[in-house]
């Protein structure tokens, strides 16, 4: 909650393993974490067994890499970064993974492997923050940020497109960069890019809410008492993963303003229990209809890209560039 690592699950698992640890076994951590977890904290927990890492058992780190609903890559085809506590630990870990993946990428230490995973997610967080900030800037200039990105993406070198949204979601990008921010304090170093990106990305739901209020005002309505339908609870298109989804923040903020908020998501028919948003558990997806005062598109599910929103006759706030129809009903956010 305060952007400090909660490592209880990892460390308690380590303690359980330590009670059963035997000579010659291989222990690999895959959870994203701060550099030094594997060969520092976890090693000490495991060595409470009386066995020594690198001598009696092997210890390594290999970060999970996955992209739900990405049909171009599978577990087998994504290269696996591997770092060991010792060269022998590295060799043992590679021997295991080479039965599973097509390619392993050995690095000099577990710390390097831990840092590589953080860099991957920090890279995305910072670049998404950049386009989110430009979205607000270009909106004031009367420029469509999506058209700008599409134009820039035609450059065949030196540019990779990232896209804005209503806030970050998923179990990686909103969380993982702050492992490094926290660890860097031990070395009297401030990770300013990471923290600035976090500020921008976490502020996006407020920007979206301001656009919702603007759209309602344009149609002579107030937030209080308005019926609002949020399209999409999943954090990305065509999956049922709602972890850290910005849609929940939007629901929370709009209800705080007095709106009656419903949702539609073809992948999430019922909201599952969660720690942070337990009060939303049990709510059910409802049909898209003209019975609402405003529709807010938060997730770019394929189903929404072919829907005729203009026919509903209600304002639509689109945070994902889903609606291609033009008209006074459409507001970009």
* Catalytic residue list contains 89: no
Whether the CB-CB separation of 304 and 232 falls below 8 Å is answered with yes
d(CA 280, CA 46): 39
For residues 34, 39, 45, 46, the Cα torsion angle rounded to the nearest 10 degrees is: 130
Whether the CB-CB separation of 264 and 285 falls below 8 Å is answered with yes
The pairing of strands 294-297 and 227-231 is parallel
Which are the contacts of 302, defined by CB distance < 8 A and separation ≥ 6? 237, 238
Q: Which two tokens stand for residue 211?
A: 């656009």
d(CA 302, CA 235): 14
Q: Which of 214, 231, 123 is nearest to 172 (CA)?
A: 123
235: Cα separation from own chain's centroid:
7
Sheet containing 104-107: which strands, arranged edge to edge?
26-29, 58-61, 80-84, 104-107
Cβ burial of 275 (10 Å; 0-12, 13-18, 19+) is exposed
Catalytic residues: 172
């Amino acid at each position: 909650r305060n952007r400090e690592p909660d490592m209880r699950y990892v460390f308690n698992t380590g303690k359980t393993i330590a009670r059963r640890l035997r000579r010659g076994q291989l222990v690999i951590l895959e959870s994203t974490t701060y550099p030094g977890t594997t060969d520092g904290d976890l090693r000490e927990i495991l060595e409470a067994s009386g066995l020594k890492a690198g001598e009696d058992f092997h210890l390594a780190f290999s970060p999970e890499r996955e992209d739900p609903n990405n049909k171009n890559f599978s577990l087998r085809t994504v290269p696996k970064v591997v770092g060991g506590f010792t060269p022998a630990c590295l060799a043992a870990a590679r021997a295991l993974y080479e039965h599973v993946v097509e390619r392993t990428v050995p690095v000099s230490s577990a710390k390097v492997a831990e840092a590589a995973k953080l860099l991957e997610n920090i890279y995305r967080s910072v670049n998404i923050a950049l386009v989110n900030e430009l979205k607000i800037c270009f909106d004031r200039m009367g420029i469509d940020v999506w058209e700008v990105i599409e134009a820039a993406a035609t450059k065949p070198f030196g540019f990779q497109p990232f896209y804005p949204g209503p806030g970050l979601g998923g179990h990686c990008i909103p969380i993982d960069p702050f492992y490094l921010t926290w660890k860097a304090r031990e070395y009297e170093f401030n990770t300013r890019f990471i923290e600035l990106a976090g500020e921008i990305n976490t502020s996006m739901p407020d920007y979206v809410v301001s656009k919702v209020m603007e759209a309602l005002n344009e149609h002579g309505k107030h937030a209080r008492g308005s019926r609002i339908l949020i399209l999409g609870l999943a954090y990305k298109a065509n999956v049922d993963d709602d972890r850290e989804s910005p849609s929940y923040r939007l629901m929370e903020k709009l209800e705080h303003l007095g709106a009656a908020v419903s949702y539609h998501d073809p992948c999430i028919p019922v909201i599952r229990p969660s720690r942070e948003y337990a009060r939303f558990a049990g709510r059910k997806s409802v049909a898209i209809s003209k019975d609402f005062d405003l529709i807010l598109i938060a997730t770019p599910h394929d189903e929404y890209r072919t829907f005729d929103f203009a026919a509903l006759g209600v304002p639509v706030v689109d945070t994902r560039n889903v609606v291609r129809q033009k008209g006074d009903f459409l507001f970009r956010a």
